[in-house]
Amino acid sequence: MADPKTPEPTRRSERSRQAILTAAVELVGEVGYARLSVEAIAARAGVGKQTIYRWWPSKGAVVLDAFVELSGGSQPVALPDTGNLKADLREVLRATVKELTDPRFELPSRALTAESQMDPALSQQFVEAVLRPHLKALQERLRSAQRAGQVAKGVDLDVAVELFVGPLFHRWLLRTAPLTSAYADTVADLAIAALRPTARAGAPR
C-alpha cells in the first residue's frame, strides 16, 4: 500500500549505513571515483547490493552522503568577525584554500563537482549540503561589513560572495596555476577593493 519507492526508515540498519559510507570513503581514496563501483562498496561493507540501491539513488548520492558525514555534517559554519574586514576575509579564504587542497577532501570534492555536472539533482544536494553554508557565512560577514560602512550600500551580496570564492574555485578546478594562501590573500584584497564605498558606490566611476 505504501509507496514502494519509500521504504520504512525505521527498520533501517544503522550498522549497514555506516559500513557503506565508510567503505565508500575508503574506496574513493583508493581507486578514485571513476573506478569506484557499487559492487565494490557492497563487498567492502559486507552488504548486499540491494541495501545500497534501496537507500540511495546513485553512486554519487552515496559518495555525497559519505562526504557530508566526513566533513562533520551540516554544522553551521562560523566565520570570524573581528571588525577587521581584510584580516577576517583573508583568513576565510586561506581556510578555503586549505580545505580544497587537503588530500582527504580534494578527491571526493572533485568527484562530486564533476558528477554534479551530469546530474542536476545531485548538484542541488551538493550545493545545499556542502557549499551553501560556507557561502551563507561569508555573506553574513559581508553584510555586517556593509552595515559598518566598509562595503558600498548598493552591492548585491550574492554577487559579492562569488567575487571572493569564484577565483579560488576557478583555479582549483581548472588547475590553471597553483592554489596557495598567497593567492587567497591577493584575491581577498582585490575583492574588498571592488566593494569599497568610494565616490559613487562600488560601481566603477
Partner DNA sequence: AGCTAATCGAGACGGTACGTCAGGTCTTTAC
Partner DNA sequence: GTAAAGACCTGACGTACCGTCTCGATTAGCT
Judge contact between 168 and 93, C-beta under 8 A. yes
- Write each residue from 157 to 186 as x if it is in contact with a second copy (CB under 8 A), else as -, in one continuous string: -xxx-xx-xxxxxxx-xxxxx-----x-xx
Q: Kindly tell me which residue out of 6, 76, 118, 178 binds a second copy, with binding defined by CB under 8 A.
A: 118
Residue 44 sits in the site that holds DNA (CB under 7 A):
no
Q: Per CB under 8 A, does 124 bind a second copy?
A: yes
Can you tell me which residue has the cell 549540503?
129
Q: Could you tell me the smallest distance in angstroms from the CB atom of residue 76 to DNA?
A: 30
DSSP state of 10: T
Q: Which is nearer to a second copy, 148 or 159 (CB)?
A: 159
> Smallest Cα–Cα separation from 141: which of 183, 192, 97?
192
Cα atoms in the Cβ-side hemisphere of radius 13 Å centred on 13: 12
Nearer to DNA, 40 or 194 (CB): 40
Apex 67 CA angle, 65 and 69, nearest 5: 70
Taking the CB of residue 28, how many other CB atoms lie within 10 A of it? 23
Question: Residue 56 to residues 21, 28, 53, 77, 185: CA-CA distances in angstroms?
Answer: 11, 17, 5, 26, 40
DSSP state of 128: I
Q: How far is the CB of 197 from a second copy (least distance, A)?
A: 11
Q: Is 40 in the site for a second copy (CB under 8 A)?
A: no
Residues in touch with a second copy (CB under 8 A):
32-34, 86, 110-111, 113-118, 120, 123-124, 127, 131-132, 135, 155-156, 158-160, 162-163, 165-171, 173-177, 183, 185-187, 189-196, 198, 201-205
Residues in touch with DNA (CB under 7 A):
7-8, 10-13, 15-17, 19, 35, 37-40, 42, 45-51, 53-55, 58-59
